[in-house]
Amino acid sequence: MANVDPVTTEIIRNAFVSIAKDMNATLIRSAFTPVIYEGKDCSVALIDPEGEVLGQSLGLPLFLGNLEICVKLIAEQHGWDYFKEGDVFYMNDSYMTGTHLNDSTIIMPIFWGGERVGFAASRAHWLDVGAKDPGTPVDSHEIYQEGMRWGPTRLYDGGEPREDVIDLLRRNSRFGDATVGDMNAQVAAGRTGEKRMQALFDRFGADTIWSARDEIFRQTEAREREAVSALPDGVYTAEGFLDNDGLGSDPLPVKLALTVTGDAMSVDLDGSASQAKGPVNCGITQTIAAARVAYKLLICSDVSPNGGSFRPLEVLAPEGTIFSAQEPAACGWYFSSLGLLIDLVIKALAPIMPDKAAGAHYGDSMVITVAGADPRNDDQFYLMIEPTTGGWGASRGRDGQSSLINNVNGSFKDIPVEIFESKYPLRLTRYGILPDSGGAGEWRGGNGTYREYLVEADSDLFLWFERSVTTGWGLFDGGAGSKPVVVVERPDEEEVLELLKVNGVKVPKGTVIRSHTGGGGGYGKARERDPAAVREDLIDGYVTRESARDVYGVEFDAEMNVDTEATARLRSG
């Protein structure tokens, strides 16, 4: 192996990351569906011949560091010689890729001078892959209800497209053309990676590139081990609950023990819920990815991940749990447990990383779906699906954000009122930040969101709201955020429904749907919050006068100035 100077190493390191960015730009530019080009529900990676990451674009957080596992799984199944020049593989099997069947992984081997020098891989959310209901059903109990399931399958064989296979993909989606369009966008991203990787080899040659790679991995691993070494050894635990499995089960525990030993860290999920009947399971690949996201939020957050990343981290999930799903477990809403897992890793580490940790956030995507016939549009079928924002946890020196999308989401943006009302027979009557919903603290948790819908044509309502059992907890005596709830008032019906998860309830014209999402946890004691900050919150309407007095112990005079004496009395009492 050549000995490579630090200049060449740095140029090659930047080039790996840049190749991944170019692949990502290509994918986003040519994708057909907004969930990719607008929501950025996708991720790409450039991978070396042994299945280690060379460069990755920081796309959807939950897709961090699981593409290379897919490459290794194919090699495990078929051997490394299975990959031929010009092949393109497709796979979406939840038990291999870890996520739900909509997430489609495409892998292309890259060759240079007849030699396999790496892989270009991408994953993107396809709108529909032929589940029993449009999109992702909320009441599935077997994976077969969630769409077509594919192991590693060649879409291109030695450079030739397999039209019969692509045709099968097209026929098994409610939006077949968009599916093939998004597939082509992923192939185009792979081609971009292939071209640039080959140009890099033309410039530097294999020996130099592999020596540089070894050095890059060494540097990254050294930095991360240094950061982990700085943490005190010990076992740190945390536990929380998912509300249920979507089919009416009891709360499902998520339990972790995090062990720091020298420069290594392990996350053991022993004691977490057994595989559930409802669609809240995920494959082990995705569990590893989620643990990596949590780790990345706290350790070397600014370093672009590569094969040297995550080496100090080991993830253990016993077989038969919701984190290591086996056939035929349903996986459609795989991410709810993972958002909780990420929050819990941070909670476990909070005592030894008090400056970096934050209280828990409101917790999940809080998805509302309304569907029916749109009378304004010849009674054509309409489908409105949207996640809802909520409050994030506070951290030392910083209040949590109000009405921000949850941690496992990508570049989500809410649907503007003007677009919403133009597209759907629904009116948005109220949308705002819910005062007092964030956990109190020296630093205040962010507030949750309310969104009120008036149904203007007979429709059906579907909901996936979570985290009412384990709400956004605080840290260091900070208070917890409030819990989510959805209230439905139908005309001509006495009963007001309070719901969180539901699969199709009739909502006739005139129904009002009010959703509230939870707040984030506070940080530190509420009574130690600077009274001036409480005053600002009161003026801006983030807390009410009652909670300013009762929770924060701050009293105001008639001019809205802090009454110092009364405050001192309240706080000493």
Contacts to other proteins from residues 203-242, by CB under 8 A: 215-216, 218-219, 222-223, 226
Distance CA 163, CA 310 (A): 39
Decide whether 82 or 431 has the Cβ nearer to other proteins.
431
What token pair was written down for 397?
A: 């020196």
Under the binding rule (CB under 8 A), the answer on residue 545 touching other proteins is: no
Give the H or E element holding residue 10: helix 6-30
CB of 75 to other proteins, least distance (A): 29
* Residues in 466-525 that interact with other proteins by CB under 8 A: none
Decide whether 133 or 215 has the Cβ nearer to other proteins.
215
Decide whether 29 or 78 has the Cβ nearer to other proteins.
29
Whether residue 66 contacts residue 45, with contact meaning beta carbons closer than 8 Å, is answered with: no
* Residues in 133-162 that interact with other proteins by CB under 8 A: none
CB of 503 to other proteins, least distance (A): 26
Binding region for other proteins (CB under 8 A) out of 45-53, 182-190, 240-248, 525-533: 182-190
Sequential DSSP letters for 476-534: TTPPPPPPPEEEEE-TT--PEEEESEEEEEEE-TT-EEEEE------BS-GGGS-HHHH
* Residues in 249-288 that interact with other proteins by CB under 8 A: none
For residue 189, what are the β-bridge partners? Answer: none
Binding region for other proteins (CB under 8 A) out of 4-12, 232-240, 502-510, 525-533: 4-12
553-558: long-range contacts, CB 8 A cutoff, minimum separation 24? 553/526, 553/527, 554/529
Distance CA 85, CA 417 (A): 49
Kindly determine how many residues on this chain lie close enough to bind other proteins according to the rule CB under 8 A: 81
CB of 296 to other proteins, least distance (A): 6
What token pair was written down for 60?
A: 């959807």
Under the binding rule (CB under 8 A), the answer on residue 544 touching other proteins is: no
Q: In what order do the strands lie in the sheet with 459-464?
A: 380-386, 367-374, 459-464, 501-507
Decide whether 112 or 412 has the Cβ nearer to other proteins.
412
CB of 257 to other proteins, least distance (A): 21
Distance CA 68, CA 86 (A): 19
Whether residue 189 contacts residue 124, with contact meaning beta carbons closer than 8 Å, is answered with: no
Backbone torsion region of residue 378, taken as left when φ is above 0, otherwise alpha when ψ lies between -120 and 50, otherwise beta? left
Residue selected from 50, 115, 177, 550 as contacting other proteins according to rule CB under 8 A? 177
Whether residue 376 contacts residue 417, with contact meaning beta carbons closer than 8 Å, is answered with: no
Residues 399-418 as x/- pattern, contact with other proteins by CB under 8 A: --xxxxx----xxxxx-xxx
Give the H or E element holding residue 22: helix 6-30
Distance CA 434, CA 515 (A): 11
Binding region for other proteins (CB under 8 A) out of 77-85, 184-192, 469-477, 548-556: 184-192
* Residues in 47-86 that interact with other proteins by CB under 8 A: 58-61
Whether residue 561 contacts residue 548, with contact meaning beta carbons closer than 8 Å, is answered with: no
* Residues in 7-26 that interact with other proteins by CB under 8 A: 7, 9-11, 13-15, 17-18, 21-22, 25-26
Length of the chain: 573
Secondary structure of 345-386 in HEC code, one letter for each residue? HHHHHCCCCCCCCECCCCCCCCEEEEEEEEHHHCCEEEEEEE
109: preceding bond cis by omega (within 30 degrees): no
Decide whether 10 or 263 has the Cβ nearer to other proteins.
10
What token pair was written down for 238?
A: 């945390």
Under the binding rule (CB under 8 A), the answer on residue 168 touching other proteins is: no
* Residues in 291-310 that interact with other proteins by CB under 8 A: 293, 296-298, 301
CB of 319 to other proteins, least distance (A): 31
Q: What separation in angstroms does the CA of 381 have from each of 384, 422, 503?
A: 10, 15, 17
Under the binding rule (CB under 8 A), the answer on residue 333 touching other proteins is: no
Decide whether 454 or 485 has the Cβ nearer to other proteins.
454
Under the binding rule (CB under 8 A), the answer on residue 441 touching other proteins is: no
CB of 557 to other proteins, least distance (A): 18
Under the binding rule (CB under 8 A), the answer on residue 165 touching other proteins is: no
Binding region for other proteins (CB under 8 A) out of 77-85, 153-161, 275-283, 427-435: 427-435
Decide whether 81 or 302 has the Cβ nearer to other proteins.
302
What token pair was written down for 322?
A: 């919701």
Nearest to 67 by CA among 59, 300, 346: 59
Under the binding rule (CB under 8 A), the answer on residue 166 touching other proteins is: no
Residues 336-375 as x/- pattern, contact with other proteins by CB under 8 A: ----------x---------xxx-----------------
What token pair was written down for 362?
A: 């409101």
* Residues in 79-118 that interact with other proteins by CB under 8 A: none
Under the binding rule (CB under 8 A), the answer on residue 198 touching other proteins is: no
Decide whether 346 or 548 has the Cβ nearer to other proteins.
346
Nearest to 45 by CA among 31, 59, 35: 59
Decide whether 21 or 141 has the Cβ nearer to other proteins.
21
Q: What separation in angstroms does the CA of 359 have from each of 115, 255, 282?
A: 50, 17, 25
Under the binding rule (CB under 8 A), the answer on residue 548 touching other proteins is: no
Under the binding rule (CB under 8 A), the answer on residue 379 touching other proteins is: no
Q: Which ranges of 79-144 does DSSP label H, i.e. alpha helix?
A: 94-97
Binding region for other proteins (CB under 8 A) out of 76-84, 181-189, 469-477, 546-554: 181-189
Binding region for other proteins (CB under 8 A) out of 6-14, 91-99, 101-109, 328-336: 6-14
Residue selected from 78, 132, 430, 545 as contacting other proteins according to rule CB under 8 A? 430
